[in-house]
Chains A and B, each alone.
Chain A
Amino acid sequence: MSQKMTGAQAVLESLKREGVDVVFGLPGGVLLPLYDAIYQSDIHHILVRHEQGAAHMADGYARATGKVGVCIATSGPGATNLVTGIANAYMDSVPMVAITGQVNTWLIGKDAFQEADITGITLPITKHNYLLRSAKDITRVFREAFYIARTGRPGPVLIDLPRDVTVDEVEFSWPQVDLPGYRPSVKAHEMQIKKAAKALMEAESPVIYVGGGVKYAGAHRELIDLATKINAPVTTTLMGLGCFPEDHPLSLGMLGMHGTKYANYAIQESDLILAIGARFDDRVTGKISSFAPRAKIVHIDVDPAEVGKNVRVDIPVVGDAKNALQGLLKEVSPKGRSVWNEKTEGWKKDYPLRYIPDMNVIKPQYVIEKLCELAPDAIITTEVGQNQMWAAQFFVHKDPQKFISSGGLGTMGYGFPAAIGAKMGRPECDVIDVAGDGSFLMNSQELATAVVNDIPVKVAVLNNGCLGMVRQWQELFFEKRYSATILGRASPDFVKLAEAYGAVGLRATKPSEVESVIRTALATDRPVVMDFIVNPAEKVSPMVPAGATLSEILELEWCDEVQSCHLEKIYAQGRKDILGQEGF
């Protein structure tokens, strides 16, 4: 059955057929026809306060549900405001469709009002993009875009929609996807699976190194089965957190720059690395030439270009992680506990993640531990920097869709809108954004979105008064010259900020207050900002210095008392200058 409709209506019908129930966006001049169609449709539109928020919300929604996230922005500045969010989704392989308005086709290239070449701008940060020039192409392009976004290695696809294309009338049709140049490799080669299985059987000290690919393939069950069947320890990247339950005896936690000592030691001493859906990022490998010097490398990835990109690979297996793991499970025979298991477990005992608790000052790690204790099943999103690393280290991750963080791009300001998106997708879950006082401000305007749309997300601001990760590096490598990293403690007052938006603001200044603040927040069915005044000089530890080998991982002196006092003095000074009063 075919039906005449406007381009805008065809867009909405396409979204409906793709199973889209919620979109995040902000209208503009060229989008008036599309928004008129949205007004008349039953799609749930969340109005954001900045387009970057829309992109991160779509991203958070996608990561929490496994479905394609959709964001909408108008032409020109609306579209360019999406750019960071699109780049973020691209780096972390998040399925997303971004729809941008564009000026009328006859004005394209004339520097028209609010015109930007967004397909040109997003060329390097999208899996693919389209500039629609005719309404008759709408349904085909939308169908292709969703197909490309969610299949193979997922990624963002942008569709640029000129105003006249949304106004023109079109006969609705729903064509099959026909993309001769796009053949995502899904089924792993049987021969390669056999080789990989043989290598696993022969290995004496294997490590399974897991990235976000396992999460996107929904292969965490198979991963657990394989690891337990052959008693191989498992370490995950930041993107892979939760793919393997961290309370499992074979879990080594996260590896890399701020990973556990035992994961890094295990990698360096292993004779076989089974990498699954991970890409040997520099934050993971440390100095690449001395990475896992004795290990044979088996690399399973759905993206052939990742195999052999950063390290030499002995046994490449191109294919979907779930399919490959199922194949491996059939080929391997059970292996008992070995000397290697004892060795890695020994490291786990000898070098646990720790921090020095304090009775008087809140330690950020303590806040994370308390969050984990009181909301173990919550979805945790993070901003970027120290807050992100502590959330990675001190929360016990057990579910791949419940840790949502900007890994590749490292986008400050990601966590809060991502939390809103995640909550939209998984309303039954508590969603907590672990934030810093620096990053939270980058998209705090979305408090309005959360309040107006009644999306009860929680934000835990680890307020240390500085851009903590950069300050940490300045302390360690730049002789404590804190260039442009000091923010001060009350700029702004986060409790008042929350209240100004109609959200709830809570503050803890002493360790004894942490638990009650978290309990109150979790019991409140409204958006809540928790302001935890934490020790300013706390550092993320352990740490592999940039360019060093993984085994050179250092246990840092977490918190230097002198630094702590010094920073508090700077903050107090700053406030005195600004407000003419002392203290907090």
Chain B
Amino acid sequence: MKHTIAVIVENKSGVLTRIAGLFSRRSFNIDSLSVGATDNPDYSRMTMTVEGDRDVLEQVIKQLSKLINVIRVSELEPGESVERELAIIKVSADKESRSEIMQIVNIFRAKIIDISHRSMIIEVTGDEEKIDAIVQLLRQFGIKEMARTGKVSMVRGARIIKA
């Protein structure tokens, strides 16, 4: 089972290593990880997707909380939070295929952010399933390159996860 957790950490060098090291030595699996600054530059926020049952998740949260540089760890329940990923995809595109690709881009409310005679770069945001779906559709034209961020996630409503 997959779980999403938000981790607020001190914005210091070596913190990512501490977290990655913890995961490898305790045999926890990270499916996805994204890190970025928060509104307070002293803190960063990580969103992680971890694989495992409830007991594993509990251990992940407790072990993370033990790290001195970790300020807060919270689970984000799938039903109660919004999740987004971003992908940029370079697709083969010539005169014949260009319009069909643009239709797909429109349907997915994605964007074309670069274009050349032979290719386009498409930017798409959404949850994992949506990105998987557009990738699937674009495959027929030939995906030359793809870069995906990990997931970022936030609880709906008034609840706040901050340092």
Contact = CB atoms under 8 A, between A and B. Distances in A.
Interface residues of A, number: 17
Nearest to A144: B68
Query: Of residues A119, A131, A148, A305, which shows the largest number of chain B Cβ atoms within 10 Å of its Cβ?
Result: A305
A308 B58 contact: yes
Contact of A304 (B21, B25, B65): B65
A181 B55 contact: no
Contacts of B10: 180-181
A304 B66 CA distance: 9
A10 to B, nearest CB: 21
Would you call the interface of chain B mostly helix, strand, loop, or mixed?
helix
A1 interface: no
Query: Of residues A119, A123, A181, A303, which shows the largest number of chain B Cβ atoms within 10 Å of its Cβ?
Result: A181
A110 B145 CA distance: 35
A124 B22 CA distance: 7
Given A124-B25, A304-B62, A182 B68 contact: yes
A398 interface: no
A148 B69 CA distance: 12
Nearest to B55: A308
A179 B68 CA distance: 8
Interface string A285-306: 0000000000000000001110
Contacts of A148: 68
A128 B25 CA distance: 16
Interface in B50-71: 55, 58-59, 62-63, 65-71
A181 B14 contact: no
A98 to B, nearest CB: 16
Contacts of B55: 308
A182 B14 CA distance: 17
Interface string B1-39: 000000001100010011001100100000000000000
Contacts of B66: 303, 305
Contact of B59 (A131, A179, A305): A305
A420 to B, nearest CB: 31
Contacts, number: 36
A349 interface: no
B67 A305 contact: no
A305 B62 contact: yes
Nearest to B42: A180
Given A308-B55, A308-B58, A309-B59, A180 B17 contact: no
Contacts of A308: 55, 58-59
A119 B22 CA distance: 14
A124 B21 contact: yes
A123 B18 contact: yes
Nearest to A119: B14
B105 interface: no
A181 B62 contact: no
A150 to B, nearest CB: 14
Contact of A305 (B14, B63, B71): B63
A179 B163 CA distance: 12
Nearest to B17: A123
B67 A181 contact: yes
Contacts of B25: 124
Contact of B68 (A119, A131, A181, A304): A181
A120 interface: yes
B68 to A, nearest CB: 5
Contact of A123 (B9, B21, B58): B21
B14 to A, nearest CB: 7
Contacts of B70: 181
A34 B42 CA distance: 32
A181 B69 contact: yes
Nearest to A308: B58
Contact of B71 (A124, A181, A304): A181
A227 to B, nearest CB: 29
Q: Report, nearest first, the 3 A-B pairs whose CB atoms are least far apart.
A: A305-B62, A128-B68, A181-B71
Given A124-B21, A148-B68, A305-B65, 17 more contacts: A123-B17, A124-B22, A124-B25, A128-B68, A131-B14, A180-B163, A181-B9, A181-B10, A181-B67, A181-B68, A181-B69, A181-B71, A303-B66, A304-B65, A305-B63, A305-B66, A308-B59
